[in-house]
Amino acid sequence: MNLWISNLVLAQETTAESAQKVAEVAQASTGTPLWIVLLALAAAVILPFVIGQWLANLLRVRDMGNRIGVVLFALVIGIAPFAIHMLTTDPKDPSKPRRLVDVFNYGIDLAGGTNLVFQVDRSQADAVRKLKDPRTMTEMVSAVNKRINPSGTEEVTVRQVGTDRIEVIVPGADSERTQRIKNQITNLGDLEFCLLANRLEHQPLITLAEDVEASKGTGVREIYQNGKLVAKWREPGKLHGSTTNYKDIGMNGDVKYRQFERNGKQVMEFLVVCPEREDLSITGRDLVNSRQEMGQDGSPTVSFQFNSHGGALFSRLTGAHLPREGANEFKTRLAILLNDEVHSAPTINDRISGSGQISGQFSQPEIDELVAVLNAGALSVPLVKEPANEFTISPLLGVDIRDTGLKATLVSMIAVFAITAIYYLKAGIIADLCLLFNLVMLLSSMALIDATLTLPGIAGVVLSVAMAVDSNVLIFERMREELERGSSMRMTIKNGFDKALGTIIDSNLTTLISAVVLYYIGTDQVKGFAVTLFIGIVISMFTTVYVARVIFELLERTGHLKTLKMFSIIKQTNYDFVGKTRLFAYASTLIIAAGLLVVAFRGKDNLDIDFRGGAMITFSFEGNEARDIDAVRAPLAKAFGENISLERLEVLGEDGKARELFRMRTVIDQEEAEAAKTGKNVESQLRDKMRDAFADSSFKLLQQTLQLGDTSVIAPSTAKLDEAGTAREKSFEGGQQFVATVGQELTPGAFAETIRECLHEIGGTDRYVDAENLVETLPADSSVAPTAKTQSIKVRLSNSVTPEDSTKVLASLKSKLDGQPLFEELTTFSSSVAGHTQSAAILAMIISMAAITAYLWFRFAGMTFGIAATIALVHDVLFTLGAVAVGAYLSQTSVGRGLFLIDFKLNLTMVAAFLTIIGYSLNDTIVVFDRIREVRGKNPKITWDMVNISLNQTLSRTLLTSVTTIITSTILYFFGGEGLRGFAFSLTIGILIGTYSSIYVASPALVWLMNRQEPVAKPASKKLATTAS
């Protein structure tokens, strides 16, 4: 085992190396010989161009050979993931038949998944102290999210529950993936660079460590001098899959180590020298990035690069311990600690600062995990290795709702293809081919990046295809203009694409800017939307501008396209759009103000549970029969109101049989208000409500029983502990201890939470505010794991809890648990994370608008275009927000029920809908602005007549695109079921208002901004404007 440290900056992988890695991955996943994989890869790259040249020669269009090859190559890329999936066997179960739909990862709403709840390891000395800082858990949630969802493309949920727990929901995870995720989450990721103590340089420290060992035994692993940590004993890392076999890090360099027996096992520890000051420590925080590479011996390693601060410290450390010259050259050895274990200890041969490489007999899974963990950063506090709770979640959407939504999605897509083909005839059929090409490449890209498909996500893909029609419409309307001028078919195609290109680039580039900003600034959930949006826009531009042009030109040059006929519903028009500008401005202001008043009136009711915070209760019923989730929801909705979410869980018992549980999330505004008035805590109120909800139901909640043993005084500990452990034991000496026996198994951690509730209740607001430090629970049977469920729990109370209060705690425990419903979990989850999510999403939108303004300033040579577009965006978002609130308010009326309105809530799906609205509105506005710029020519001013002419000329395109997209969203709204209704409602309103705002908000705002220094003449009444019809 070696660690190779290099001063060379990590070089980027070459294309050949990347291809080699892709081939190796493919070979490993399919079992196919590497040479066959490489041959197939070469064929996939070369054959499309060979076939393209052959077709070009055959059709006598030789200059188009490479262009045809590019289209065929893109098609190969599009179908490759599906072909590979269908032509290979499942590595886990070769006999299992392959299904095309299995190439995707599906969200929790469609496929269910795994729910894991992890708890902070309070036994660690610093954990409880760090938990007092509210930022600690926020940082923990962020680090965990980055580890298991670094790209942000998976619909993984990570959130804080209670004060010291993190809930992770992973869609469709099998047992192997679940275990890998557990390892990634609980791996502390604490990387530290130190020195191994040697007798030549560190003899005084070694002597001190030997003296401490002689007086206090091997249980003391931290060596202090004058109150400062100067050295520590640490074990080598373990070989993969072993709990006893150490990695071989060598004994050379006269390093200090010790071997002894602990709990019947042989233990080895090396003495590690700590930095003189904390600010000189070199840790994982000083790394810029890490990634997998091959070591000099061909084994997998992890390379890393320091930031400037870490590089300077590492240069100082290695420079101060260069090899000693002389006959017996002596070399100091580094100590590379990962999670407090020495994984490698290389010799220092030279001063090192920039980057390096870690090797240490790592397996491939360990390498993958280590890279993810180091790039995400270390956890602020350690988590207990085994989850406090682990459940299998059924799909959140019922089968009927899911199937209805998928059918509506399919119907809406067919409608888009049909409308395009019917209206534009031959050109429409070509457009449909490109849209199909677009869809295949988009889905292929999502499969390649492991993006997760949810029902709203699938609807979003369909909607993106509908919106991609917009670019085709721009081109076709330009072609219509050329045909009306009498241009030849070849010139019609050329000018149609050329004249529409600028508008297409402008509208799509601004959306790409939004996607990039959202990815870098938005929350992890918004990042997933941003990635899909970016890919969708890039593919849409490619298929519309490149693929479609190749098809049109190929058909024309081979004589298969001599004429282009199109329907023209909208003829020449001369509408005075801007004549009623002031009227529409007043109307918009009043409607938006009314909508925002409803938003303010509804207050927190506008927000979904995860955006508000609340409580989470996991419960089960007596008996083993399966229960309908809607039947369970009914009494809960009666007791808690409609603002609840309910999911079915399964957990495997020791007998291997699945046990059914349910988890409810609900807001707790009413309970918090009651607690403020009466002093009865929220948890007690929730218990009472749950009991009352099922009092008259045929469902009987599983009951808990509790027996409390005799209390005794905790005697002084005789164990040899370090300073932190000794201080903790001192805090319990003289306190009360007892054994509790429960009828239904609980984890000691869950039992401790209940005791802390009791302490808070009897202590009021002034006493026992630090209850987390005053309770310790462990299984009474020492052979049971500390985090495992058990019926017998040993409880210790700190000496800070008086004997009188200990008695009160016992009584309170008895009343809370004995004969009461058993809750696997009853905890509150903070709205602070939701507040951060909202803030990040809003900030991302604001910065996106600023970036769009800057781009349009550059593109149109004036800030006014960008500001006018931003005004329209703000108008659309506020209007839609008000409409969602009004719709939710009307949902309780007969009118609302007739319109299929429901109590809409703002959640992450709604955020995605609003972001889609911004993209659509922006496209519409830029199309109008481009035509205004064209009509304006070199005129320094923009007049009302110019705006009227431009709006009339683009009216056909505006209405056709809007109708196509609105038909899609309307089908999703009325026939997609409740799973899509809020998403589709927002989009339908947003698209309508986006079309309106491009005409009656953005354009008048542009005229006002351009000419605000002087009065603008009203439009001439007889000025003729024509559409591109």
pLDDT digits (tens, 9 = 90+) for 460-492: 777 677 777 888 888 998 898 899 888 999 999
Look up residue 629 and give its two tokens. 């989730």
Q: For residue range 592-623, what is the model confidence (pLDDT) as tens digits?
A: 999 999 999 998 888 887 677 788 888 889 88
Q: Which of 78, 103, 128 is the last residue of a domain?
A: 103
In the chain, what is the straight-line distance between the N-terminal and C-terminal CA atoms, in Å?
75
Q: Which of 103, 137, 154 is the last residue of a domain?
A: 103
3-state secondary structure of 649: strand
How are beta strands 355-358 and 105-106 bridged, if at all?
A: unpaired
Instruction: Give the CATH number, domain containing residue 1005.
Output: 1.20.1640.10
Instruction: Give the CATH number, domain containing residue 768.
Output: 3.30.70
Q: What is the pLDDT of residue 166?
A: 87
Q: What is the pLDDT of residue 380?
A: 77
**In the structure, what pLDDT confidence band is assigned to residue 3 with cuts at 50, 70 and 90?**
very low
Q: What percent of the chain has pLDDT over 70?
A: 84
- Distance, in Å, from the CA atom of 605 to the CA atom of 888, rounded to the nearest integer, reads 9
- Distance, in Å, from the CA atom of 802 to the CA atom of 629, rounded to the nearest integer, reads 46
Q: For residue range 779-837, what is the model confidence (pLDDT) as tens digits?
A: 998 888 777 788 999 999 988 888 888 898 899 888 888 888 888 777 776 555 556 66
- Distance, in Å, from the CA atom of 762 to the CA atom of 806, rounded to the nearest integer, reads 10
> Nearest Cα to 640, choosing from 603, 682, 680?
682
Any bridge partners for residue 158, and if so which?
168
pLDDT at 880 > cutoff 90: yes
pLDDT at 20 > cutoff 50: no
How many other C-beta atoms are found inside a 10 Å radius of the C-beta of residue 444? 21
Residue at 708 is within a domain: yes
Q: Are residues 97 and 112 in the same domain?
A: no
Among 843-857, 867-881, 891-905, the range scoring the smallest mean pLDDT is 843-857
Q: Are residues 172 and 195 in the same domain?
A: no
Please report which residue ranges of 359-488 form alpha helices under DSSP H.
Answer: 364-376, 399-448, 455-484
Q: Are residues 246 and 220 in the same domain?
A: yes
Among 142-156, 467-481, 556-570, the range scoring the smallest mean pLDDT is 142-156
Q: What is the pLDDT of residue 604?
A: 83
- Distance, in Å, from the CA atom of 514 to the CA atom of 855, rounded to the nearest integer, reads 11
Look up residue 458 and give its two tokens. 């699938």
Q: What is the pLDDT of residue 610?
A: 67
Number of domains in the chain: 5
Give the mean model confidence (pLDDT) for residues 446-457: 77
Residue at 829 is within a domain: no
- Distance, in Å, from the CA atom of 471 to the CA atom of 501, rounded to the nearest integer, reads 9
Instruction: Give the CATH number, domain containing residue 167.
Output: 3.30.70.3400
Q: Are residues 227 and 301 in the same domain?
A: yes
Residue at 121 is within a domain: yes
Q: Which of 794, 820, 846 is the last residue of a domain?
A: 820
Mean pLDDT of the chain: 80
Q: What is the pLDDT of residue 601?
A: 93
Give the mean model confidence (pLDDT) for residues 362-370: 73
**In the structure, what pLDDT confidence band is assigned to residue 723 with cuts at 50, 70 and 90?**
low
Q: Are residues 165 and 234 in the same domain?
A: no
How many other C-beta atoms are found inside a 10 Å radius of the C-beta of residue 840? 18
Query: How distant is the alpha carbon of residue 585 from its chain centre?
Result: 39
Look up residue 867 and give its two tokens. 């500001």
How are beta strands 191-196 and 113-119 bridged, if at all?
A: unpaired
Q: Are residues 776 and 886 in the same domain?
A: no
Q: Are residues 153 and 196 in the same domain?
A: no
Q: Is the separation of the CB atoms in 282 and 313 below 8 Å?
A: yes
Residue at 652 is within a domain: no
Q: Are residues 939 and 967 in the same domain?
A: yes
The Cα angle at residue 950 between residues 948 and 952, in degrees rounded to 5: 70
Q: For residue range 636-658, what is the model confidence (pLDDT) as tens digits?
A: 988 888 778 888 887 766 666 77
**In the structure, what pLDDT confidence band is assigned to residue 22 with cuts at 50, 70 and 90?**
very low
**In the structure, what pLDDT confidence band is assigned to residue 10 with cuts at 50, 70 and 90?**
very low
Q: Are residues 223 and 337 in the same domain?
A: yes
Residue at 792 is within a domain: yes
Q: Is the pTM of this model over 0.85?
A: no
Residue at 460 is within a domain: no
Q: Are residues 954 and 866 in the same domain?
A: yes
Query: How distant is the alpha carbon of residue 536 from its chain centre?
Result: 18
Q: Are residues 38 and 116 in the same domain?
A: no
- At residue 674, φ and ψ (nearest 5 deg) are -65, -40
How are beta strands 775-779 and 790-797 bridged, if at all?
A: antiparallel
Beta carbons within 8 Å of 226's beta carbon, 6+ residues apart = none
- Structural domain harbouring 44: 31-103
- Distance, in Å, from the CA atom of 240 to the CA atom of 69, rounded to the nearest integer, reads 47
Please indicate whether residue 885 or residue 851 has the higher confidence score (pLDDT): 885
Residue at 408 is within a domain: no
165: left (phi over 0), alpha (psi -120 to 50) or beta: beta
| C-alpha separations of 771 from 126, 726, 768, 818 in Å | 16, 19, 5, 22
> Nearest Cα to 746, choosing from 776, 788, 703?
788
Q: Is the separation of the CB atoms in 289 and 305 below 8 Å?
A: yes
Beta carbons within 8 Å of 1028's beta carbon, 6+ residues apart = 477, 478, 480, 481, 953, 954, 956, 957
Q: What is the pLDDT of residue 180?
A: 80
CA atoms within 13 A on the CB side of 126: 6
Q: What is the pLDDT of residue 15?
A: 35
Q: Are residues 241 and 133 in the same domain?
A: no
Q: What is the pLDDT of residue 1024?
A: 42
Give the mean model confidence (pLDDT) for residues 297-308: 78
Look up residue 217 and give its two tokens. 């035994």
Beta carbons within 8 Å of 77's beta carbon, 6+ residues apart = 441, 444
**Class of residue 900 by CB neighbours under 10 A (exposed 0-12, middle 13-18, buried 19+):** middle
Residue at 499 is within a domain: no
Give the mean model confidence (pLDDT) for residues 672-688: 71
Please indicate whether residue 36 or residue 485 has the higher confidence score (pLDDT): 485
Q: What is the pLDDT of residue 401?
A: 62
